[in-house]
Amino acid sequence: MDERDARVPLTRRDLWSRSDEIAAGVVAEGGGIEALIAATGSRTLENVVSTIDPAIVQQAYDNDLLAEV
């Protein structure tokens, strides 16, 4: 096997589900954790944290902090 045959590892973005895509749109529009829960239908914070890309969840927390200012 040579370099041309080597597989390129999948990125986190490559592994996104439809819920991740929805969540990314919500945080891009300034939504926080409650907006993620509502948009993804996850019902609880625990579900969001366990199923959504951690970077998106962090952005939602950041949006919540910015909204408090």
**So what's the pLDDT on residue 31?**
97
pTM: 0.78
Token code pair at residue 32: 């926080």
* Phi, psi (deg, nearest 5) at residue 47: -65, -40
Instruction: Tell me the residue type at 67.
Output: A
**So what's the pLDDT on residue 2?**
64
Q: In the chain, where are the structural domains located?
A: 16-68
- Mean pLDDT for back-to-back runs of 10 residues, the chain (69 residues): 70 83 96 95 92 95 93
**b/e per residue 6-33 (b: at least 16 CB within 10 A):** eeeeeeeeeebeebbebbbebbeeebbb
**So what's the pLDDT on residue 14?**
74
